[in-house]
Structure 1
């Protein structure tokens, strides 16, 4: 997202664009998938004075604005990634921790079945499957 469009989104909510907000959003985009701690480490490389509390608050704000979304890929902190049309589910390797993405159309038959049978609407962007990746499976 460009500085201008981020500024417009913030202004529409009565907020202003700060360097910290811009750096945090850029870090999420650069990381692809990142915990608040990973975002903090990335931001600290550019601006050492940004504390972890600011990271958490800003990630929450960016999610409210629809600019990032989160999922839970482990028992720890949520993992944030850019929001957008590229909604996807996650494959998380329990052995090496690698996170891969799958196209949401893979889950559409299940999502449609749940909607029809139970009236339940799946939020595919929050779906995570845990298992062992092909590389780790070959090593076992």
Structure 2
């Protein structure tokens, strides 16, 4: 483990969920010479070694966390809030997918998109026949 790789891993652990750019910014506070290419290569290596994992929380760069940091992500379309939910919430679905299709779900890589409670109250769904729906 080189000092640069350790800095990247330390940043992932500290930030919990972070894009490569955020990780790079954190690392550069301590080691300004470390560039984004080094961060991407290190994240790739650490993921192949099973130390970190990535999740796509929406459009854009993936978010990295340490491998043991397992949960589902609920991502709000409106405000971008990311809530964490235990992976066990998908146990029933995972069992059904295994039974029906022989598919083994890795729920630790799952991000579900939707609308958080606060935004749902502020932005009620558009009903069919509503002028906004017909526009």
Would you say same fold, with TM above 0.5? Answer: yes
Give the match for residue 25 of structure 1: 9
Give the match for residue 125 of structure 1: 108
Give the match for residue 47 of structure 1: 31
1:93, distance to aligned residue in structure 2 (A): 1.4
- Residue 49 of structure 2 corresponds to residue 38 of structure 1: no
Structure 1 residue runs of 4 or more that deviate by more than 6 Å after TM superposition: none
- TM-score by length of structure 2 reads 0.85
- The answer for unaligned runs of 5 or more in structure 1 is 1-16
Alignment: residue pair count? 123
- TM-score by length of structure 1 reads 0.82
Give the match for residue 77 of structure 1: 61
Q: Secondary structure at the match of 2:32?
A: coil
Q: Which has the larger radius of gyration?
A: 2
Give the match for residue 119 of structure 2: 136
Q: CA RMSD in A?
A: 1.2
- The answer for unaligned runs of 5 or more in structure 2 is 124-135
- Residue 46 of structure 2 corresponds to residue 66 of structure 1: no
2:74 to 82, 88, 91: 91
1:97, distance to aligned residue in structure 2 (A): 1.6
Give the match for residue 110 of structure 1: 93
Q: Secondary structure at the match of 2:22?
A: helix
